[in-house]
Amino acid sequence: MSLKEVQDRLGHSSIRTTGDVYAHVTKNMKEKSADLFEKYISK
């Protein structure tokens, strides 16, 4: 579900509120983005 959809469902007037409360980055997400970046710069 996108952050915008969560904002709408919860009735937040600002997407910033939704992001500050509900968005987070997990260790797995950090590793995946590092791998993708490494593949990109290795081209």
Element (H, E) at 19: helix 15-22
Q: What local confidence, expressed as pLDDT, does residue 43 receive?
A: 81
| Segment 16-32, tens digit of pLDDT | 999 999 988 999 999 99
| Burial class of residue 15 in the structure, from the number of CB atoms within 10 Å of its CB (0-12 exposed, 13-18 middle, 19+ buried) | middle
Instruction: Return the higher-pLDDT residue of 11 and 43.
Output: 11
Please report, for the chain, the start and end positions of each structural domain, with discontinuous segments joined by +: 3-41
Q: What local confidence, expressed as pLDDT, does residue 36 receive?
A: 96
pTM over 0.85: no
